[in-house]
Amino acid sequence: MKILYEDEDVLAVEKPSGLMVHPDGRSSEPAVTDWVLKHYPELKGVGEPVTFGEEEIDRPGIVHRLDRETSGVLLIMKNPKAFAYFKKQFMERKIKKRYAAIVYGHVKSDRGKVDKPIGRSPSDFRRKLAGRGAKGELREAVTEYSVLKRFEDKAGGKYSFLEVRPRTGRTHQIRVHMKFLNHPVVCDSLYASKNACPSELGRLALHAESIEFKTPHGKTVKVESPLPAEFKKFSGL
């Protein structure tokens, strides 16, 4: 993984698509945390573990996460004090995140906001749901977006390239809210399984492009990850 920023408290890396942030207790495939422990063994025990069944999974330095198929900026904390500070910053929504997303169809409005709480899907334990039919605890979720480009591929399929700014940090939030708008993220096998996945992309079209935060010392830092080449090629940007 490429290191995008580092100081005494924070490590920002560029997570590739297809790599889990931490083990899920069901498979033995590689994860970001394996890389962390190999290159920063002193981070073992920093942060909070997660429990899957009877197994406790260590998540060294992990204070937030990206879905397996999402690429882009991921923050890793280097000490307990920084972990506590950034956990509070995320909870208080003081950290600014920006994503690039390509969705199916031409989104009508140039700008918009989805303010819909997210719960569980009644039909698939892996999925979340916004709007009617959502089960369990409904958690507040707000996503703002801007259309940067509307385009078509060679086969005539319609797409929109979006800049997305999630104001909350729910699991699958952008993917669920785009599905709610009837413009799911391209190549999303969980929320758009019936839509064709263009071969030029071949991966979930969601990328964590930037994250902006204040360090524990008050310094404002903005870390950016370049747009993946396949996004540029497919959209013509």
What pLDDT digit, counting tens, does each position of 61-85 carry?
999 999 999 999 999 999 999 999 9
- Out of 9, 24, 67, 124, the active site residue is 67
65 assigned to some structural domain: yes
On the question of pLDDT at 57 being above 90, the answer is: no
Pick from 81-95, 125-139, 210-224: least confident: 125-139
Same-domain check for residues 48 and 111: no
Q: Contact, 87 vs 63, CB < 8 A?
A: yes
Domain boundary among 92, 125, 141: 92
Total number of domains constituting the chain: 2
What's the confidence (pLDDT) of residue 49? 82
Radius of gyration of the CA atoms of the chain, in A: 18
Integer CA distances (angstroms), 234 to 166, 190, 195, 209, 231, in order: 24, 21, 16, 17, 5
23 shares its domain with 2? yes
* Res 61: pLDDT: 93
Q: Are residues 122 and 236 in the same domain?
A: yes
* Active-site annotation holds for 58: no
Spatial CA neighbour of 40 closest among 98, 82, 85: 82
Residue 162 inside a domain? The answer is: yes
Tell me, yes or no, whether 70 and 180 share the same domain.
no
Token duo for residue 233? 């090629």
103 in a structural domain = yes
CATH of the domain at 125: 3.30.2350.10
Beta strand 128-130 pairing with 220-224: unpaired
Residue 29 falls inside a structural domain: yes
Range of the domain at 54: 1-92
Q: In whole angstroms, give the CA distance from residue 24 to residue 52.
A: 7
